[in-house]
């Protein structure tokens, strides 16, 4: 069961497991969006028009870029939160991931539909 942290520095954090660092509610929303959005972007790129067209190449580049952004976000979040670091990059990558992932899925979907 998820339990709220009791220390004052982690007042708004949730600990899902003893094996995971305490996460904010924003992180708990951002991680599934990043994972599912990355998978959807990759599937759209794989089923798109192909690398022989500009649209297909763009889809693959978009999927690779969003994969790198989301890997940096999720892996960095889990590694850096495990040692208690919550620097500027933490909020920046979460916000970037939350905005860029739906945009990448929408872009890949439009390319698939219009190509």
The DSSP-derived string for 42-92 is HHHHHTSS-TTSHHHHHHHHHHHHHHHHHHHHHHHHHHHHHTT---HHHHH
The structure's pTM equals 0.79
Instruction: Give me Rg for the CA atoms of the chain.
Output: 17
The residue among 71 and 77 whose pLDDT is bigger is: 71
Mean pLDDT over each residue of the chain, to the nearest integer: 84
Q: Residue 78 has what pLDDT?
A: 81
Taking the domains of the chain in order of start, what are their residue ranges? 23-114
Number of H helices, E strands in the chain: 3, 2
DSSP bridge partners of 14: 4, 23
Q: Which residues does residue 42 pair with via DSSP β-bridges, in sequence order?
A: none
Asked whether residue 69 carries a pLDDT value surpassing 60, the answer given is yes
Q: Count Cα atoms within 13 angstroms, Cβ side, for 109.
A: 10
């Amino acid at each position: 069961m998820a339990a709220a942290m009791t220390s004052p520095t982690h007042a708004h954090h949730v600990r899902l497991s003893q094996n995971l660092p305490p996460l904010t509610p924003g992180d708990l929303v951002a991680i599934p969006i990043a994972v599912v959005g990355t998978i959807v972007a990759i599937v759209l790129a794989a089923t798109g028009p192909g690398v022989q067209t500009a649209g297909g190449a763009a889809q693959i580049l978009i999927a690779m870029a969003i994969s790198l952004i989301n890997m940096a976000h999720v892996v960095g979040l889990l590694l850096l939160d495990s040692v208690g670091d919550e620097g500027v990059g933490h909020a920046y990558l979460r916000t970037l991931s939350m905005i860029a992932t739906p945009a990448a899925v929408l872009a890949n979907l439009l390319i698939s539909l219009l190509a």
